[in-house]
Amino acid sequence: MMNGLGIAIVLAVLGGLLVGLRLYQRWKTPQPELLRKILHVGMGLVAISFPWLFDASWPVLVLGALSLAGMVAMRTITALSGSVGQVVSGVGRASLGEIYFPLAIAVQWHIYLFASAQPEYRVLLYCIPLLLLTLADAAAALVGVNYGSLRFATSDGVKSAEGSLAFFLCAFLCVHVPLLLGSETGRVETLLIAVLLALVAMLFEAIAWAGLDNLILPLVGYLLLRIYLGLTVEDLALRVAVTVGMIAFAFAYHSQTALVGDALLGACLVGYLCWALGSSRWIVAPLTVFLGHNLLSPRTEANSQRIHTIHAVIAVSAVGLFWLFYFRLLDQLETECFYLFTLSFAAQLGMIAVARLGYDFPRWPAAVLLMVCVLQGWVLLMFPYVILEWSEPTSLTWAMAALPGVAVATVGFYFIQPRVRDCPADGPRWLRHVALGALGSALGWLVVNVEW
């Protein structure tokens, strides 16, 4: 009965907010971004109240389904898109943020209900990631629109340093204040956790496009916060230093990569997440891919203009990050997930080698090119894997069994990628990277589930 009443309260509040914003829009004609962010903040604050409204899974699933249906209706039904739909779509830019938002809330709610780790922080682990998404994102957008002058290009358009700074400051308070008032965490630890989460969230917001931060930022915030709460002051201080150092290194190495600005920030973020959510050994594979393709195929005047955006970084790291997140959410199967994580990056390096070496050596026969590329991806990733996992009895066997997975991804890329010796850096190419990396990783999954 209380769950049903909670659903009614949430629908009444959100419906009233939407109608009220539409009336305000017709009366005062405010900035479209302001209306969108007021709705964003209202939805987020309502979602933060769920632990005090509901005690089951189904009410949030019902609300999520209704929210998604409502957002789709406001985009597709003419009568709605021309009235209340203007609150959401009036900004005039492509974004699925309002679609991702209820999905993210549903994921966070089910983690809150069913996660057993750190029960004393249960409410904070639910509320703080949503506060980051609700308030910090809105602050960045509004400050950037009204006061942004130091602008930089991203895949989602132009953003501003002022907006990123506003995001950092607001995110810092969204973490620091709840931890300080609602937990027994020490003051220094609280300060360092807030700095770390705010910095990582700011980087994520700077590179996200089409509203994707609405879906992933809360999950990343939850996983990082859960880890940070168990660290000492020394460990947290080290992580702050490493985060700053990784960013400095990436920018110092900028001239040697084919990555544009937001992609370089994305590479930093991927590296940091691998280290922060895993350990130092989890960064070996992405770092090898980051350095390896340039060392084996140095940038020259002929290929210096072949630049890649954040979509390339996401495509190359997506499958590996899936296994990392899978391990962290379950807090088990680390050996298996680390193997599949490494295998996915080996497959990606093989495909990258096809594009780079195929361009550099157009006269190489296909058999020679593929043999070199497969061996490059396999050796450069699986040799360090064996060293890191030497104490595991299956490490050598699994490393040998990774060769077919790397070969399938690399050879498959050669045959299905158009203009493979002069690859376009377009969306379909990166989708092939994800699909073939997942296929190679799936073969590895079969290996770890076979009794040797």
Crossing angle of helices 395-416 and 366-388, in 10° steps, is 150
Where is pLDDT greater, at 38 or 350?
350
pLDDT at position 184 is: 85
Residue numbers of the domain that contains 205: 118-252
- Least confident range from 135-139, 176-180, 384-388, 403-407: namely 135-139
HEC profile for the chain?
CHHHHHHHHHHHHHHHHHHHHHHHHHHHCCCHHHHHHHHHHHHHHHHHCHHHHCCCCHHHHHHHHHHHHHHHHHHHCHHHHCCCCHHHHCCCCCCCHHHHHHHHHHHHHHHHHHCCCCHHHHHHHHHHHHHHHHHHHHHHHHHHHHHCCCEEEECCEEEEHHHHHHHHHHHHHHHHHHHHHHCCCCHHHHHHHHHHHHHHHHHHHHHCCCCCHHHHHHHHHHHHHHHHCCCCHHHHHHHHHHHHHHHHHHHHCHHHCCECHHHHHHHHHHHHHHHHHHCHHHHHHHHHHHHHHHHHCCCCCCCCCCCECHHHHHHHHHHHHHHHHHHHHHCCCHHHHHHHHHHHHHHHHHHHHHHHHHHHCCCCCHHHHHHHHHHHHHHHHHHHHHHHCCCCCCHHHHHHHHHHHHHHHHHHHHHHCCCHHHCCCCHHHHHHHHHHHHHHHHHHHHHHCCCC
Domain identity same for 296 and 241: no
Residue 297: is its pLDDT beyond 70? no
Domain identity same for 280 and 420: yes
Pick the last residue of a domain from 85, 114, 143: 114
Percentage of the chain beyond pLDDT 90 is: 29
122 alpha-carbon distance from chain centroid? 23
Domain identity same for 304 and 445: yes
- 195: tokens are 């700095």
CB atoms within 10 A of CB 79: 10
Domain identity same for 146 and 186: yes
Rg (CA), the chain: 23
pTM, to two decimals: 0.81
Residue 233: is its pLDDT beyond 60? yes
Domain identity same for 330 and 410: yes
Pick the last residue of a domain from 197, 224, 252: 252
CA distance 119 to 41: 27
Q: Is residue 138 part of a domain?
A: yes
Q: Is residue 261 part of a domain?
A: no
Question: Could you report the per-residue pLDDT of 25-79, keeping only the tens digit for each?
Answer: 778 777 777 777 788 788 889 999 999 889 888 899 998 888 888 877 777 776 6
CA distance 244 to 440: 34
Mean pLDDT for the stretch of residues 315-334: 90
Q: Is residue 290 part of a domain?
A: yes
Question: Could you report the per-residue pLDDT of 240-276, keeping only the tens digit for each?
Answer: 888 888 778 767 766 667 677 677 778 888 888 898 8
CB atoms within 10 A of CB 131: 23
Q: Is residue 257 part of a domain?
A: no
- Least confident range from 75-89, 198-212, 321-335: namely 75-89
Domain identity same for 150 and 123: yes
pLDDT at position 324 is: 94
Domain identity same for 185 and 302: no
Domain identity same for 248 and 309: no
Domain identity same for 185 and 328: no
Q: Are 441 and 340 in contact (CB under 8 A)?
A: yes
Pick the last residue of a domain from 114, 146, 170: 114
Residue 91: is its pLDDT beyond 60? no
Domain identity same for 197 and 280: no
CA distance 261 to 47: 34
Crossing angle of helices 310-330 and 261-273, in 10° steps, is 20
Residue 227: is its pLDDT beyond 70? yes
Domain identity same for 221 and 199: yes
Q: Is residue 433 part of a domain?
A: yes
Domain identity same for 300 and 368: yes
Backbone angles phi, psi at 154, to 5 degrees: -135, 175
Q: Is residue 259 part of a domain?
A: no
Q: Is residue 264 part of a domain?
A: no
Q: Are 260 and 309 in contact (CB under 8 A)?
A: yes
Mean pLDDT for the stretch of residues 220-225: 88
Q: Is residue 41 part of a domain?
A: yes
User: In the chain, how many domains are there?
Assistant: 3
